[in-house]
């Protein structure tokens, strides 16, 4: 009965060239294997303070209310919505792929009055379109900066000002874009920003930086009802992260100690490299990948290259091919993960992610070689 668990753990090496998780550099892997210390030890508080500083830099913010969630990107999505919205309040969600759909569902589940601004995957929202929706009087407007299911990088300039005019909080998802495409939380008047650990940051999955500015804090700390989640309640989390000015940081939950070590190192690597260099590198490698894909006769799903997400590239499924068959072939023969679409983009695209540590022209060459091989060898479904 126990044979399987008694076998030694085996984990294959994979080229993680999909939309995440990405491969993790040895320094980050090593940091996660340090001895466990208590989640309330002074050394841990220092590490958490370092993480906060690293997030300040990565988000380009000075917000005091800056923490990392004990959980994946979804934990940050739920934390943002649960804390800033009360049941019955209106929210507006921009949907152009799966991430808007998810946030809309999260908001619906906690009893918000959800309005949707919908586009087909790959479409982007103009400020004029966003301006019109003040009529719903939303308390929160959600947008994905890096729409990883479609490979779109949504421009955000000016939207924070529109939200202020309508007395609405501006919530931005940068799980797939942080470190790969420029974002300036304070300068762009973004009220709540979150990301994930496992994409361009190259930490293991399971922690998620999030930051709230004063406008967001004012709304979330002056509510009539308690947030539906105890675990994600920012009253407690702000104390756990030493953001509430109280002398004592009390027990709330046991944070993922090793995950925080790894997150700290990944933020340190980004700070050492510099954001500008990281953005430049992602753009350069992505442009190199686009040329190679076009040389293979493949069509990029987002026609305007200025709107493409540098970390996750989407290609239209080549005519006559079964995308599942191609992905299985690439995994089997090249030990390489690429993926299909997600949510509304399923059947429309294949996705190639080269993020952070993986963002190198040599890796783009490996991905292109694997794709060329699949194009040659995968039987055409409609011959
Ligand atoms: C843009 C975006 N938002 C949110 C998420 C959710 O993150 P997680 O899978 O870590 O919960 C992802 C994950 O792929 C993402 O790409």
Instruction: Identify the CATH number of the domain in which residue 362 sits.
Output: 3.90.1150.10
Whether 284 and 255 share a structural domain: no
**pLDDT digits 0-9 by tens, 121-143:** 999 999 999 998 788 999 999 99
Query: Does residue 375 register a pLDDT over 70?
Result: yes
Whose CA is closest to atom 3 on ligand 1? 175
Tell me which residue range forms the domain holding 64.
26-272
Q: How many domains does the chain have?
A: 2
pLDDT interval class at 379 (50, 70, 90): confident
The CATH number of residue 137's host domain is 3.40.640.10
Whether 54 and 88 share a structural domain: yes
pTM for the full predicted model = 0.97
Whether 279 and 367 share a structural domain: yes
161: left (phi over 0), alpha (psi -120 to 50) or beta: alpha
Residue 13 placed within a domain? no
Q: What is the DSSP letter of 380?
A: P
- The atom of ligand 1 lying closest to the CA of 99 is 3
**pLDDT digits 0-9 by tens, 83-110:** 999 999 999 999 999 999 999 999 999 9
Task: Report CA(73)–ligand 1 centroid distance (Å).
Answer: 5
SS3 assignment, position 4? helix
Residue 297 placed within a domain? yes
Residues 6+ apart with CB under 8 A from 158: 127
Of 321, 375, 330, nearest to 349 (Cα)? Answer: 321
Whether 261 and 362 share a structural domain: no
Whether 267 and 284 share a structural domain: no
Q: Write down the pLDDT at residue 181.
A: 98
Mutation probe of ligand 1 site: the residue of 71, 74, 106, 193 with most atoms within 8 A of C-beta: 74
Q: Write down the pLDDT at residue 20.
A: 96
Whether 44 and 139 share a structural domain: yes
């Amino acid at each position: 009965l126990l044979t399987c668990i008694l076998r030694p753990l085996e984990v294959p090496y994979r080229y993680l060239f999909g939309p995440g998780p990405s491969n993790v550099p040895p320094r980050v892997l090593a940091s996660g294997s340090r001895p466990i210390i208590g989640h309330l030890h002074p050394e841990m508080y220092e590490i958490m303070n370092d993480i906060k500083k690293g997030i300040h830099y990565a988000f380009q913010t000075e917000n005091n209310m800056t923490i990392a969630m004990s959980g994946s990107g979804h934990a940050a999505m739920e934390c943002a919505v649960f804390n800033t919205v009360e049941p019955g309040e209106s929210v507006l969600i921009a949907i152009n792929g799966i991430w808007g759909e998810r946030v809309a569902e999260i908001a619906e589940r906690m009893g918000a009055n959800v309005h949707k601004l919908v586009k087909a995957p790959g479409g982007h929202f103009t400020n004029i379109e966003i301006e019109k929706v003040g009529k719903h009087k939303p308390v929160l407007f959600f947008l994905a900066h890096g729409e990883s299911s479609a490979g779109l990088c949504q421009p955000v300039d000016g939207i924070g000002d529109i939200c202020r005019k309508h007395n609405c909080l501006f919530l931005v998802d940068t799980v797939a874009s942080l470190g790969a495409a420029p974002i300036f939380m304070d300068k762009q008047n973004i009220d709540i920003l979150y990301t994930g650990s496992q994409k361009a940051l190259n930490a293991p999955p399971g922690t998620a930086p999030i930051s709230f500015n004063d406008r967001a804090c004012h709304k979330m700390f002056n509510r009539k009802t308690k947030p539906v989640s105890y675990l994600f309640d920012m009253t407690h989390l702000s104390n756990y992260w030493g953001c509430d000015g109280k002398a004592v940081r009390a027990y709330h939950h046991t944070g993922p100690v090793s995950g925080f070590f790894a997150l700290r190192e990944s933020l340190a690597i980004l700070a050492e490299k510099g954001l500008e260099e990281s953005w430049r590198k992602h753009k350069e490698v992505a442009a190199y990948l686009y040329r190679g894909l076009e040389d293979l006769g493949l069509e990029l799903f987002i026609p305007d290259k200025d709107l493409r997400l540098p970390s996750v590239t989407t290609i239209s499924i080549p005519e006559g091919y079964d995308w599942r068959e191609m992905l299985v072939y690439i995994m089997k023969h090249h030990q390489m993960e690429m993926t299909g679409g997600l949510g509304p983009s399923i059947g429309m695209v294949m996705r190639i992610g080269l993020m952070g540590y993986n963002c190198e022209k040599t890796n783009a060459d490996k991905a292109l070689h694997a794709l060329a091989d699949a194009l040659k060898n995968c039987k055409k479904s409609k011959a």
